[in-house]
Structures are given as structure tokens and as C-alpha cells.
Amino acid sequence: MNNAVAPATEGSPCGAPTFHQRGFTLVELAIVMFIVALLLGGMLLPLSAQQDVRSFGDTQKLLSDSRDALLGFAMANDRLPCPASSTSNGVEDPVGGGVCNHPHDGFFPAATVGLAPVDGSGYLIDGWGSNVDNRVRYAVSTANTSALTTGSGMKTAGITALVPDLEICNSGAQVRIPPIITAPDTTSMYCHPSFRLAQDAVAVIYSLGKNGGTGGAGTDETHNPNPRSTTAADRAFVNAQQGTNFDDQVIWLSKGTLFNRLVAAGRLP
């Protein structure tokens, strides 16, 4: 019997046949990279949208907290704080209230009220960033000779006599001055009754939104004081539907809410 073992094939241990080894071609690599890029692009869009939703929600909560802080300040001091100016580092202007220097175009007085987060200069910042355009803004009514921002001014004037006059419109095109639509704005500006959301707000708090650094010149946003506004500050503010032309986030403090809290705290009447 012939027990001779056949010689192994050259280059193949154990006698296994060899196969031709090859790598990916440049075309195949390009296709793979293209598919990976598509997958990553599809992931980035949802992440960006999620960040926008988170920033919007954070800002909305911050504005709500700011309104609560105003109520707390009023109960402790018998008045609302004045807005901060662009040079007061988050402190109301003037200190101690009274006739405010920037009643309709100031910033939230975070240093006076004691609210965070603030930027390096002491201004409250929204959820969209930390530059000067992301500072939360604040306006207060000057009605009854600034009674709302003067110590014991509301008590002296009396609840029935107090007539806060800040107005909120749902369209910038409906901000008017008697008797016709016109520009520039003045302290007499008001909302057309059919487009009015409020007419007796004591304070307005708002963020310039995601486009804070680039927007603000549209028909709706131009009525909320911002770096690119073309109209003078007045008592009428706009809270239009969110969209490409308007992304300001606006809330306000009503006369009823303020008076209710002060009465409950024994500060009024």
C-alpha cells in the first residue's frame, strides 16, 4: 500500500488551496464614505432640532421664573423694580426705583432681584446663548406717575385708581397711534382691539429668541426693543405666532395677578 503524502501546495499550510487576496477599490471606499456621510447628516438634523427645543423650553421656564421673581420683589418692597440699563450691570436704573430711566427698553434687573443665570456683566441670559443679544429684556408700566415702581406708590394711588397701560398685540402691523396706523412709535401707541392680547399689563419680560444676534428687523419683532429695531420704545409689545419671521419669547405680568398677590400678602389695599 502506498502511504506517500502528497506535497503541500506552495504558500498554503496544511495543503489548503490559496486564494487571491484583494482590498477595497477607490470607488467602493467612496461609496462607503458617502453612505456614512448621509447617516451622520441624518443624525445631526434631529440633534439640532432637539437643541432648539431644549433652548426654547429653558428660556420659557426662565421667563416664568422671572415673573415670579417680580411678584416676590413686589411683596417685599411694595413696588416693582425698574429695568436695568445697558451700563448698570444688571442693577435697576435708578437704584431704589421711582421714575425709571428705561421703562420700555431696559433689561431684567437680575442683580437687584437676585436671579440667575447671568453673564459676566450681571445680566440675566436666556437659553439661546451668552452674548449681549441673549440678555433678557424687561419693560414696566409708567402709569399713575410711576406708582408701580415707587415705594408704596400702589398703596398711595389705590387699587381702583391704578391703570397699568402696557399692551400686547399679536401682530406688529396692528400697533397703532390714534387715529391711524403710522410710524414712528410714541408713548401713545396701542394695539388694534381685534389684535390685542392684553391692555393692562404691569410688566413685560421677553427674550429675542434664537435669532437674537441677527433678527429683530421684521414687522413683528421691530416693535420689541432690540439692537436692530427701527422704531422707538413704546408701551405696545408684540407676541406673534412663532415662525421664521418671529421667534421672540414674550410673557407679561397682569394687573390682576400682581394685585391678587399683594392683597394676599397684606401689602394692599
pLDDT of 202-215, one tens digit each?
A: 999 999 999 998 88
| Helices 255-264/26-77 angle, 10° precision | 50
Mean pLDDT score across all residues of the chain: 87
Q: Is the pLDDT of residue 186 over 70?
A: no
What pLDDT sits at residue 213?
84
Q: How confident is the model at residue 59 (pLDDT cuts 50, 70, 90)?
A: very high
What pLDDT sits at residue 161?
95
What pLDDT sits at residue 185?
41
Residue pair 182/216 in contact by the 8 Å Cβ criterion? no
Q: What is the pLDDT of residues 83-95, one digit of tens each?
A: 999 999 999 999 9
Average pLDDT in the 4-12 region?
51
What pLDDT sits at residue 244?
87
Of residues 195, 198, 164, 165, the one with CA closest to residue 181: 195
Residue 144 CB contacts under 8 Å (≥ 6 apart), including other chains = 153, 157, 161, 162, 163
Q: Is the pLDDT of residue 127 over 50?
A: yes
Question: Which H/E stretch holds residue 39?
Answer: helix 26-77
Tell me how far apart the alpha carbons of residues 251 and 254 are, in angstroms, rounded to a whole number. Answer: 10
Average pLDDT in the 38-51 region?
72
**Reduced to 3 states, what is the DSSP secondary structure of residue 15?**
helix
Tell me how far apart the alpha carbons of residues 188 and 176 are, in angstroms, rounded to a whole number. Answer: 8
Q: Is the pLDDT of residue 184 over 60?
A: no
Residue pair 247/210 in contact by the 8 Å Cβ criterion? yes
29: its cell numbers: 471606499
- Vertex 109: Cα angle to 106 and 114 (nearest 5): 170
